[in-house]
């Protein structure tokens, strides 16, 4: 039941808590002593590598949907609250004028139907853009099931849009929600937003993103990553987020154990290979084990190298950029540095590798150069838990 007479501070607490499951960046800012807890301000990565401080709450946590994992599910007995668009816009502008929030993340539960909920998001964005002249960053949700005219309207106002796919296939999504339709409710708005951006690049200049709930629907990594590769190719997504499932009391999945954060981490590493390195899906899939999942004890790039022993070792003084990228411990920046260094002199010592920022302990079993120290031959191919390469 919607609570009447709730003040702005209480709404911020209720609706920021409800919004915390939507991933848009790198976490909440630190609370300042004596201030209202700023758990509603998050850091989000921008396409150019920078960051923006985002004000992130829901317009309302009232929802007719009964998603099996969701904190705002209709069946849960929780406090419900709602902002009016004018109130939410005013609250954000106050934070913006105080240099606490540079942009806003607009999302909402579906209190009546998707189009009515989208109207609240659109009206808030219109107030900010057209009435108050705000030219900064707006990330707006395209709610599942919203009509094409609402999708077009929000794309005309937002810097970035997103609709959460949640599960990799229609069958998996059905386990989470009987009301959501993958093709018509989620992929259709994605496709429309992609088409609008392709035809009019000035619209949604920061593109669109989506998010998976990892481990809630019994899906495997092969399902998630296969769909991820298709979304990047077909929908032109800028970013895909992976949120490890955590049980919430009062939901249908409250008895399902939380998903390992290592699984989420490995998915992000595999996503990095697809999105940043440009590895094809056929190559990334080599990292999967027989059960169709990424190994938790080795990063995917190392697993791919283990599955492709015929590619190694590579001669670091003659291998092309793409060959160097396949070497564990060598990322895009180090690969470019190696190519530049070779124009001046041969790479012939470990000190050369260190100066080029190569993680040489990872790389040594997979490379060769004249005069390589004998201890390198003793290094094993045992998987490690070091970070991305």
Boundaries of domain holding 90: 8-260
Do the domain assignments include residue 270? Answer: no
Note the pLDDT tens digit of each residue in 127-182: 999 999 999 999 999 999 999 999 999 999 999 999 999 999 999 999 999 999 99
My answer on whether 247 and 317 are in the same domain is no
Q: Is residue 160, in this structure, part of any structural domain at all?
A: yes
Is there a domain that residue 243 lies in? yes
- Tokens of residue 67, six digits: 């998603």
Single out the residue in 205, 236, 260 at which a domain terminates: 260
Query: What is the DSSP track for 204-252?
Result: STT-EEEEEEETSS---HHHHHHHHHHHHHHH--SEEEEEE----TTST
Closest by CA position to 197, among listed 209, 185, 186:
209
Which SS3 state, helix, strand or coil, does residue 351 take? helix
pLDDT digits (tens, 9 = 90+) for 169-224: 999 999 999 999 999 999 999 999 999 999 999 999 999 999 999 999 999 999 99
Return d(Cα 186, Cα 168) in angstroms, integer. 11
In a shared domain, residues 82 and 212: yes
| Same domain flag for 324 and 189 | no
Residue (of 87, 116, 88, 96) closest to 19 by Cα position: 88
Q: Which residues of the chain have pLDDT under 50?
A: 1, 29-37, 378-389
| Antiparallel, parallel or unpaired: β 51-58 and 41-45 | antiparallel
Q: Are 205 and 159 in contact (CB under 8 A)?
A: yes
Shared-domain flag, residues 311 and 252: no
Farthest CA pair distance, the chain? 77
pLDDT given at position 27: 52
219 with 73, same domain: the answer is yes
344 part of a folded domain: yes
Domain at 115, CATH number? 3.20.20.70
Q: Among 208, 228, 260, which residue terminates a domain?
A: 260
**Domain tally, the chain:** 2
Give the pLDDT score at 47: 61
231 and 367 assigned to the same domain: no
Q: Are 107 and 202 within one domain?
A: yes
Residues 362 and 219 placed together within one structural domain of the fold: no
b/e map 310-334, b = 16+ CB within 10 Å: eebbbebbebeeebbbbbbbbbeeb
- How far apart CA 193 and CA 168 sit, in angstroms, is 19
* Residue 295: inside a domain: no
- Domain membership of residue 190 (yes or no) is yes
Half-sphere exposure of 330 (CA within 13 A, CB side): 25
- Distance between CA atoms of residues 177 and 154, nearest Å: 25
Report yes or no on 311 lying in a domain: yes
* pLDDT for the residue 168: 97
Contact 104, 141 (CB under 8 A): no
Asked if residue 323 and residue 196 are part of one domain, the reply reads no
Is residue 278 situated within a structural domain? Answer: no
60 lies in the same domain as 116: yes
Domain shared by 176 and 317, yes or no: no
Task: Give the pair of three-digit tokens for residue 48.
Answer: 């150019």
Report yes or no: 388 and 299 within 8 Å, Cβ to Cβ: yes
Quick one: pLDDT at residue 157?
Answer: 98
Same domain, 244 and 350: no
From 260, 288, 318, the end of a domain falls on 260
**Closest to 385 in 3D by CA, of 328, 325, 331, 335:** 328
């Amino acid at each position: 039941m919607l609570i009447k007479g709730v003040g702005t501070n209480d709404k911020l607490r209720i609706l920021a808590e409800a919004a915390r499951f939507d991933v848009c960046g790198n976490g909440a800012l630190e609370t300042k002593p004596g201030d209202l807890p700023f758990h509603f301000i998050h850091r989000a990565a921008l396409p150019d590598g920078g960051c923006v401080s985002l004000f992130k709450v829901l317009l309302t946590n009232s929802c007719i949907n009964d998603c099996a994992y969701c904190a705002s599910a209709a069946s849960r007995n929780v406090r419900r609250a709602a902002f009016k668009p004018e109130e939410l816009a005013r609250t954000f502008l106050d934070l913006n004028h105080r240099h606490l929030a540079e942009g806003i993340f607009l999302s909402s539960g579906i209190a009546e139907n998707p189009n009515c909920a989208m109207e609240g998001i659109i009206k808030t964005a219109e107030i900010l853009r057209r009435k108050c002249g705000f030219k900064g960053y707006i990330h707006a949700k395209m709610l599942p099931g919203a009509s094409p005219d609402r999708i077009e309207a929000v794309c005309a106002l937002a810097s970035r849009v997103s609709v959460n796919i949640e599960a990799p296939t229609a069958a998996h999504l059905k386990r989470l929600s009987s009301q959501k339709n993958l093709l018509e409710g989620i992929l259709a708005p994605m496709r429309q937003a992609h088409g609008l951006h392709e035809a009019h690049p000035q619209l949604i200049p920061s593109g669109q993103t989506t998010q998976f709930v990892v481990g809630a629907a019994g899906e495997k990594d092969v399902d998630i990553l296969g769909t991820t590769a298709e979304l990047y190719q077909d929908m032109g997504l800028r970013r895909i987020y992976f949120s490890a499932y955590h049980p919430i009391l009062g939901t249908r999945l409250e008895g399902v154990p939380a998903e390992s954060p290592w699984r989420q981490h490995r998915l992000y590493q595999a996503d990095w290979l697809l999105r940043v390195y440009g590895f094809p899906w056929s190559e990334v899939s080599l990292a999967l084990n027989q059960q169709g999942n990424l190994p938790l004890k080795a990063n995917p790039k190392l697993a791919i190298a283990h599955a492709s022993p015929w590619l190694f070792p590579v001669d670091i003084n003659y291998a092309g950029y793409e060959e160097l990228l396949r070497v564990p411990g060598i990322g895009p920046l180090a690969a470019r540095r190696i190519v530049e260094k070779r124009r001046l002199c041969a790479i012939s010592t470990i000190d050369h590798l260190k100066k080029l920022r190569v993680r040489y302990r990872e790389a040594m079993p997979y490379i060769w150069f004249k005069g390589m120290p004998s201890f390198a031959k003793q290094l094993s191919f045992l998987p490690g838990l070091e970070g991305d390469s």
